[in-house]
């Protein structure tokens, strides 16, 4: 209990809550500011690099707004671009690859710099942030965790670039190794950038290209926690934890069910010109790429309307927590869906597969879900205002703009051929949406502190009718 002193002043415990605890709140805010600053600096430096002549075959840079758009898209591992990829030189693609890797592993590299900086100690708050993003047990040696993640990333990218190089060589590429390494980085980081202007469409009949790309997308989007857990399981040093089982189950369902749907529906649309085996391959690729890679082996504008809607849903869901992928995350979607179907408001949390999901986890999932919908609606509404000319001229429609907003927010990169036609105001909207989608969802997952005085008491309960 808290007692007032005889002089009527605040008790010492409240003095601590008013000054020391707010200091902790400011520390958390500063960590978030540093994280945002890291991404902003990357975007700015990337836009400057992409404004230089060496990045382009012709030696003529694109307008700065397009350089900034491409840089933000690369750092936020989105893949949307207002310029054709054919304009970039090999040096330009190297810049893009560095931006993708730095942005895709942005939180890893941010914490690496934070942890390895001279005379810098990892605070309890930062340890909590690393634990929330990577693994449960981070207190022992967080620096080794960062090193392991970087080593895993580079190893997987190099290993799967080998079959990719063979596939590109057989498809007639004049620089198969370069293309393989770039696509390995882009696929694992779920970026969706390609050295080819038409993306993966020209490789729709090449399993040696599409299969490694799919594997890289899934591995990059499944989460470092799950990858580490699978490694321990394969080496006999442990079993899959509950989170890994949930993430793997959700991922498997979200790949298999949409793939069957795309195969059935798109056989008369985007897949009609392919053979049976090629339809299966491309149906799986179309199922994998919306969460949240952005590569396209078939033109998204040729999809049936219902398939476009399913793609929007898959983009919004995204990959798994503690991964490079965007979206609200698979486990968030699973918890929201199952609680909506099976949840009981008269009890705390609910049960899934022999475990209880606590009310705090449920509240966080619904909070991320609701805030993400609001952000997408705001972005979509802004595009409806900025792209009035496109709508009036019949060059786009509302679903295409919604598709664009969700793709930008979930850092996917798929488009219904709208991105190059955007106005400067529309480009600014998408730039902002991509940045929020890359950094804002993570900030929401960490949560925001309440006002300090509300940490120590609650207001009287109120009855409000809902439903």
Read off the pLDDT of residues 324-369 as tens digits, 9 standing for 90 and up.
Answer: 888 999 999 999 998 888 876 667 777 887 788 888 888 889 989 9
* Structural domain includes residue 423: yes
What pLDDT was estimated at residue 443? 62
- pLDDT at res. 421: 94
Q: Is residue 7 part of a domain?
A: no
Residues facing 351 on adjacent strands: 356
Q: For residue 344, what are the domain limits?
A: 12-450
pLDDT > 70: what percent of the chain? 79
Backbone phi, psi, residue 461, to 5°: -65, 150
* Alpha carbon 395 to its chain's center: 29
Asked if 197 and 84 touch (Cβ cutoff 8 Å), the reply is: yes
- 425-445: pLDDT as tens digits: 999 999 999 999 888 766 665
Q: For 50-75, what is the mean pLDDT?
A: 95
Average pLDDT for the chain: 83
The residue that leads in pLDDT, 335 or 24, is: 335
Residue 46 lies in a domain: yes
Long-range contacts of 131-140, Cβ-Cβ distance < 8 Å, separation of 24 or more: 132/445, 132/446, 133/107, 133/322, 133/442, 134/224, 134/225, 134/322, 135/224, 135/225, 135/228, 135/322, 136/225, 136/241
In a domain, 460, yes or no: no
Question: What's the number of domains the chain is made of?
Answer: 1
pTM above 0.95, yes or no: no
pLDDT of 278 reads 96
Q: Angle at Cα 222 formed by Cα 371 and Cα 287, nearest 5°?
A: 80
**17 found inside a domain:** yes
Examine residue 4 and state whether it is found in any structural domain, yes or no.
Answer: no
For residue 284, name the pLDDT band (cuts at 50, 70, 90).
Answer: very high
Return the pLDDT at 232. Answer: 84
pLDDT tens-digit series, residues 101-149: 988 877 665 655 555 454 455 554 455 555 555 544 444 455 666 777 7
Bigger pLDDT: 360 or 254? 254
What 3-state class would DSSP assign to 350? strand
| Structural domain contains residue 379 | yes
Question: Is residue 2 included in any domain, yes or no?
Answer: no
The residues pairing with 350 across neighbouring beta strands, listed in sequence order, are 357
Residue in this structure with the two tokens 């090999």, named with its chain if needed: 90
């Amino acid at each position: 209990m808290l007692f007032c002193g005889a002089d009527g002043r605040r008790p010492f415990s409240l003095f601590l809550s008013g000054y020391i605890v707010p200091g902790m709140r400011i520390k958390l805010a500063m960590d978030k500011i540093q994280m945002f600053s890291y991404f902003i600096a990357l975007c700015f430096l990337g836009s400057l690099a992409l404004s230089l002549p060496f990045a382009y075959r012709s030696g003529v840079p694109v307008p700065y707004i397009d350089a900034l758009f491409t840089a933000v898209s690369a750092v936020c591992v989105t893949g949307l671009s207002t310029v054709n990829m054919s304009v970039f030189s090999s040096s330009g693609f190297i810049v893009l690859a560095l931006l993708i890797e730095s942005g895709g592993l942005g939180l890893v590299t941010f914490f690496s710099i934070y942890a390895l900086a001279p005379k810098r100690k990892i605070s309890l708050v930062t340890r909590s942030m690393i634990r929330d993003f990577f693994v449960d047990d981070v207190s022992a040696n967080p620096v080794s965790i960062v090193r392991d993640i970087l080593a895993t990333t580079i190893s997987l990218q190099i290993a799967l670039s080998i079959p990719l190089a063979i596939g590109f060589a057989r498809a007639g590429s004049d620089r198969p190794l370069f293309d393989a390494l770039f696509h390995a980085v882009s696929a694992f980081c779920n970026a969706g950038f390609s050295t080819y202007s038409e993306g993966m469409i020209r490789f729709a009949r090449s399993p040696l290209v599409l299969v490694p790309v799919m594997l890289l997308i899934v591995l990059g989007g499944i989460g470092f926690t799950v990858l580490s857990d699978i490694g321990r399981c394969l080496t006999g040093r442990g079993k899959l934890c509950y989170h890994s089982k949930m993430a793997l189950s959700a991922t498997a369902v979200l790949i298999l069910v949409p793939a069957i749907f795309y195969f059935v529906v798109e056989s008369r649309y985007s897949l009609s010109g392919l053979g049976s085996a090629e339809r299966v391959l491309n149906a799986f690729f179309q199922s994998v790429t919306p969460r949240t890679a952005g590569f396209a082996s078939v033109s998204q504008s040729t999809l049936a309307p219902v398939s476009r809607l399913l793609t929007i849903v898959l983009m919004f869901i995204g990959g798994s927590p503690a991964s490079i992928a965007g979206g609200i995350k698979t486990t968030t979607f699973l918890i929201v869906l199952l609680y909506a179907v099976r949840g009981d408001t008269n009890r705390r949390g609910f049960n899934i597969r022999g475990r209880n999901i606590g009310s705090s986890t449920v509240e966080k999932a619904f909070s991320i879900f609701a805030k993400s919908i609001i952000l997408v609606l705001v972005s979509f509404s802004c595009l409806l205002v900025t792209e009035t000319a496109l709508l009036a001229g019949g060059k786009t429609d509302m679903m295409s703009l919604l598709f664009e907003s969700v793709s930008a927010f979930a850092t996917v990169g798929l488009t219904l051929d709208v991105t190059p036609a955007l106005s400067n105001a529309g480009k600014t909207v998408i730039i902002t949406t991509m940045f929020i989608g890359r950094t804002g969802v993570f900030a929401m997952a960490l949560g925001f502190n309440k006002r300090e005085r509300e940490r120590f008491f609650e207001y009287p309960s109120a009855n409000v009718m809902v439903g």
